[in-house]
Amino acid sequence: MPIDILMPALSPTMEEGTLAKWLVKEGDTIEPGDVIAEIETDKATMEVEAVDEGTLAKIVVDEGTENVPVNNVIAVILQEGEEGADLDAVESPPTAPKPQEEGKPAKEAADAGPAPSGTASPPALSSRSNGTRVFASPLARRIATQNNLSIDALEGSGPRGRIIKRDVDAALAAGVGTKPAQAKQAPAPTPSAPLPAGLPDARAFFEDGSFEEVPHDQMRKTIAKRLTAAKQGMPHFRLNISCEIDKLLAVRRELNAKSPEGDGAFKISVNDFIIKALAMALMRVPAANASWTDESMLRHKHADIGVAVAIEGGLITPIVRMADTKGLSTISGEMVDLAGRARERKLKPNEFEGGSFAVSNLGMYGIDHFDAVINPPHAGILAIGAGAQQPVVKDGALSIATVMNVTMSCDHRVIDGALGAELLGVFKGYVEDPSTMLL
């Protein structure tokens, strides 16, 4: 029987993705391990390998289609000897019927809420006047709906006559098949009334033509979703501390001067010292090296440190695994590799998901201090400001020192004030006397 190729879950949190590109075409013979498509998630573009052999008989989801739910059918393989007579009926797997809850009428049970995350939704179907079904990509349907366009009035140019985005664009340009737009009654102005729940649409405040509308990509949507959830559902509090880094800068110069040429060369940054100092502090204060769950606290055996890296359109947080066990040159080499592949969106999910704590360093941009938002499942994040020379008092005498401001955002469910203060104190000790990190 035909074998469905499903939209894969490329990470534990992935719910949908963009089918960026097909690397095979209908009629091609494929074998297990062949790379058949590229999928864009919120953070990376990843290759999809075939797990079955046969002939790619039907492409169900066109390349460029966005928001394809995990486990939706994206293509169909026929095995040797099979024919494709019934393939035109393939769209997406239907949602399993929701079981009726005891004591609730069928309609009430059906309205109780959406299907669980990851369950495929049934495709929106329509038919022509002669009763034949209309097949269209989700993106084409969405654009048609937004523009009051009758999808069943179009002829498709995609595989098997499927209506795709270019068909909708062509129809809109020609002005055919549109439904009459329903007039919306403007509400009466109530200047003294409070704002409704939720934020207003920013477009309401600007005239048409005064702005360029740039649609959100998957990364920006995910950043907005996760950090909004973090701020709403995670009780943040913040602690500030100042660290003198003159000794650290001197040790850094000394170590970099000893870097070998060619293979094995390194250039240690201030950020590498910060990663190492935080990792060692978390091992000294293990109660802070934890993640919250509703049932228990997860105490981590090693310090996996996420490091915020700015990339085009957003940011990503690659993880330095077991940073407490690694030397500064190893951390430096890993960060160069991770940051480079992050900017190319070539990281694997296990390289940017998870971790116990994070670092965000804006010192290179001249920022003195700032507050950072915690990215779950981390229990905290260090916001690192620029090191700058400042007057300080030592033993009653005025002197000059290079001072770096650090702000730690904590998840209060995991880290209380005293515990956070202890962690920052240990971190400060390592930063101000970096030779202790080398012991």
Catalytic residues: 412
Q: How far apart are CA 290 and CA 302, in angstroms?
A: 10
* Polymer length of the chain: 439
Neighbours of 13 (CB within 10 A): 14
Cα distances (Å, whole numbers) of residue 356 to 242, 283, 300, 387, 414: 23, 11, 7, 26, 11
The two three-digit tokens of residue 340, written as one number? 């480079």
Beta-strand runs (E) in 258-356? 290-292, 297-299, 305-307, 309-311, 314-316, 319-320
SS3 content of the chain, % helix, strand, coil (to 5): 30, 25, 45
User: Is the separation of the CB atoms in 411 and 233 below 8 Å?
Assistant: no
Helix (H, G, I), strand (E, B) or coil at 36: strand
Cβ proximity of 301 and 325 under 8 Å:
no
